[in-house]
Amino acid sequence: MSGLLEVIALHPADAESAEAGGADRVEVCGTLEDGGMSPTPQLVAQVRRATTIQVRVMVRLREGFGTDGGEAVRLRGLMASYADAGADGMVLGFLNGLGEVDARLVEELIDDGTWPWTFHRAVDACLDTDKAWDTLRTLPRLDQVLTAGSARDVEHGLGDLIARAKGDPWSASVMMAGGGLHPDHVPWLARAGVRAFHIGSPARPGGSYKAYVDADLVRSWRTLIDDEVRHRPAATA
């Protein structure tokens, strides 16, 4: 059994190199401002033509994790355009004014689609993360939660990620560790039952987003993840 490896792609060339290095999926972003913003549908189409692996697209137009009715209409239109451009799924997550997962809004946004989707690191900004994860469990078609276990990074959230994965098989089954992920985090997470991992700057020379994704760096993560996951029992939801 191997784990899932997702790589951030800002260009078609990133997607090509991610696939060459053995990634399972790319997350397409237009920019990396404030943790990632939506790309144009044209970029999504270009990435789709450049790779055969799964493509998920960031759905986010402003800083923070809130939105409003007017923007929600635009977001739904964008997601329809992304699906038409060949995206396999979406990446989104919004909170309400109380710092909770905005389940009503999210369900409204995804209602028109049939694709699977990832709830991104907005979960790490929730005031009550246990309540947030309970809410995520109820959302339709959600199959991945990108989380660092902390609003800062995996280094600070590693203990929480491990405890959640060990304590709840469903959380372990959907958890995708990312946000400052280091190679030495992977064995601990794999032992806890985590099977999905997300990288951005570690896939690029010098860790710089000014450089394209490097296939050899992706391959080193592919090998590490597979070696650690292969001999660990999977969580049973």
Per-residue pLDDT at 69: 66
pLDDT exceeds 60 at position 131: yes
DSSP assignments along 49-96, one per residue: HH-SSEEEEE---SSSS---HHHHHHHHHHHHHHHHTT-SEEEE--B-
pLDDT digits over 187-210, tens only? 999 999 999 999 999 999 999 999
Q: What's the half-sphere exposure (Cβ side, CA atoms, 13 Å) at 56?
A: 28
- With a CB cutoff of 8 Å and minimum separation 6, the contacts of 187 are 228
Locate the domains of the chain by residue range.
4-230
Query: What average pLDDT does this structure show over 1-11?
Result: 92
Task: Please give the distance of CA 3 from its chain centroid, rounded to a whole number.
Answer: 14
pLDDT, position 72: 87
pLDDT of residue 217: 98
Provide mean pLDDT across the span 141-146.
Answer: 98
- Give the architecture (CATH level 2) of 4-230: Alpha-Beta Barrel (3.20)
What would the pLDDT profile of 40-55 be if each residue is shown by its tens digit? Answer: 999 999 999 999 999 9
pTM, rounded to two decimals: 0.94
pLDDT at 67: 79
